Amino acid sequence: MSDPIHEIERIFAPEGPLAAAVPGFRPRPQQLEMAQRIAAAIAGNLALVTEAGTGTGKTFAYLAPALLSGGKVIVSTGTKTLQDQLFNRDLPTVRDALKVGATIALLKGRANYVCPYHLERAMSAGRLASREEAAHLRKIARFAERTRTGDKAECIDVPEDSGAWAQATSTRENCLGQECPNVKECFVLAARQDALTADVVVVNHHLFFADVMLKDEGMGELLPACNTIIFDEAHQLPEVAGLFFGESVSTSQVIELARDTRNEAVVAAKDYPPLQEAAQALDKAARDLRLAVKGENQRLPAARLESDAAFDDALQGLAAAIKELGRHLETQAERGEGLANCLRRTQELALALQRWRGGSGEGDVVKWVEVYSQAMSLNLTPLDIAPIFQRQMEGHPRAWIFASATLAVGNNFSHYCGELGLAEADTAVWGSPFDYEKNALLYAPPGMPDPNSAFYQEAVAEAAWPAIRASGGRAFVLCTSLRAMRRIRELLQEKLAADGLDLPLLMQGEGSRTELLERFRFLGNAILVASQSFWEGVDVRGEALSLVVIDKLPFAPPDDPVLSARIDRLRAAGRNPFMEYQLPRAVISMKQGSGRLIRDESDRGVLMICDPRLTGKPYGKAIWRSLPPMRRTRDVAEVEAFFEAVVPVESRHD
């Protein structure tokens, strides 16, 4: 490409190829500048960290220079939804508009592809939790016969969270690789082959790091040939990298091993009952470990549990059950590749558990436990991922592009660059082209109590109710904890009943995120109360979403074991953990939550932040200065007047 900057100008011009190919395309100076900076970074094999506000059109801004570069490009996204959108819609659109012949491929983690070997085993073992799951498994088997890709996203008549998928897909642990009798029909291998030969490969962050660390998912071969790596939704990288640069043993992993051993034993060692019994005992030991810890959805320091006799007994019971299963597998492993694989996994699991039990959680690693409703994971996480991430970036010269709507605090990227070790990277910020001054209002209600007070949720519901009434529903109420979410929903239910208003009230957890969003859009006047998973990656355009209420500033709970260890480490180094770590993270999270409101240039709405610290604490200024430039008010009458002017008459409830 002779002059990338000039070429980019031509592509994004009012009469350029993108304007001709994309209905409604409008030139935006921010998008053009971003594309030019990315083109220059690709040409010079540089690292570039970019923040582009909502409406900039950052996807086209990185895809156009990437496709023009002529090199091999990996685009990594934060979610599978965005992955599918890039592969099915955005990439083909830009490629066709630019008339470049680039080939594109989609690569997901192996759990997204039907595994013919495990599907066959599950069908013959016939052990499923319910008749519904058995029916799902039969549908998956029919899908496997007609699909070209094996991608479970295409099998629309089986829910994504059905237990049958776990039986019909493979994991890194239970894949037999080249030893597999079904290797010729393997969808994962076919997807990898496509990715190896393609010019542009779309992956997601989990897959990228799983691969960089484990050299497992086909990226170990992809990376050396790659000239450019683009991370979209790059604000998620520190969290995902920490997950993969550490080590984790989960009860789900153990239960899968027990299940796979049982399935293999049915086929290859039917005459040796002790193997089935040992697998059953291991399954029970994993479930007993989960039951040894009360509560759910929490992260605990390991030290708090290690002094608990019930937890310690359950942990010892698990170690003994793993050892016992290994003893039986050693005598049977020669009878089939599947059993040999189960033996290898048992040995690896025993070592990982030993490392966790022996780990002190001191120095550069934090030792902690995460408890879910049905499962639990034992984790060792590095406190500083920058040196590990830097090592990945060394070696082969290539461009590294980081893009998100939320990376900076004001115009300062030092927090983000510090976390990933990007001291040498160039940085750039582009604000949103939307007219926030005209179309949006930031409302901070007066007289709110301290966010730690016992009746804070009641105060949130009380303060939010006039705004919800004025907007005629059409609201997201975003909470910083599940407990607050449930309580606020209860209170809003009471208010709806008391006022006799017939507005649909939805809550996260009453269906998958996709289902809830579809219902919310379809209803047009709903209130959705949600927590962390709706703060980002959710796009509702138009009048269906006109009010976003945020209960508290999203500071991570200080008793979170990883955060608490990082705070101690910064303090020991004589640094200010609040200003350098906690506040920047809260700002980035806040920008994500508030970004749900205005998704289109014709959108109008109110962002309501209930937390009194926004206006009452000196650091509150850093937060609202990082938000889009909306008009600000503390008077609910202004909110009511705003909606009076914009709410469709039929949605109003007087």
Q: Report whether pLDDT(216) > 60.
A: no
Ordered domains of the chain (ranges, CATH): 4-109+189-243+384-430 (3.40.50.300), 114-169 (no CATH), 245-382 (1.20.1440), 436-651 (3.40.50.300)
pLDDT band at 653 (very low <50, low <70, confident <90, very high): very low
Instruction: List the Cα angle 226/227/230 in 5-degree steps.
Output: 90
What's the 3-state SS for 403-445? EECCCCECCECHHHHHHHCCCCCEEEEECCCCCHHHHEEEECC
Of 211-225, 307-321, 430-444, 637-651, the poorest mean pLDDT is in: 211-225
Q: What percent of the chain has pLDDT over 70?
A: 95
The predicted-structure confidence for 406-416, as pLDDT tens digits, reads as follows 999 888 999 99
Residue showing tokens 């607050």: 484
Q: Which residues pair with 203 in a beta bridge?
A: 76
The CA angle 640-471-504, to the nearest 5 degrees, is 150
Which DSSP symbol is given to 22?
S
Q: What is the pLDDT of residue 125?
A: 76
> Which pLDDT value is given to residue 178?
84
Tell me the pLDDT of the chain averaged across its residues: 90
Q: What is the pLDDT of residue 244?
A: 85
Residue 97, both tokens: 């508009």
pLDDT at site 512? 80
pLDDT tens digits for range 467-497: 999 999 999 999 999 899 999 999 999 999 9
Cα–Cα distance list, 476 to 335, 428, 542, 593, 605 (Å) = 56, 31, 14, 10, 11
Q: What is the pLDDT of residues 587-599, one digit of tens each?
A: 999 999 898 998 8
pLDDT tens column, 553-611: 999 888 899 999 999 989 999 999 999 999 999 999 999 989 899 888 889 999 999 99
Residue 652: pLDDT above 60?
no
Please determine, for residue 541, whether its predicted confidence score (pLDDT) is greater than 50. Answer: yes
Q: Are 344 and 269 in contact (CB under 8 A)?
A: no
Rg (Cα) of the chain, in Å, rounded?
Answer: 26
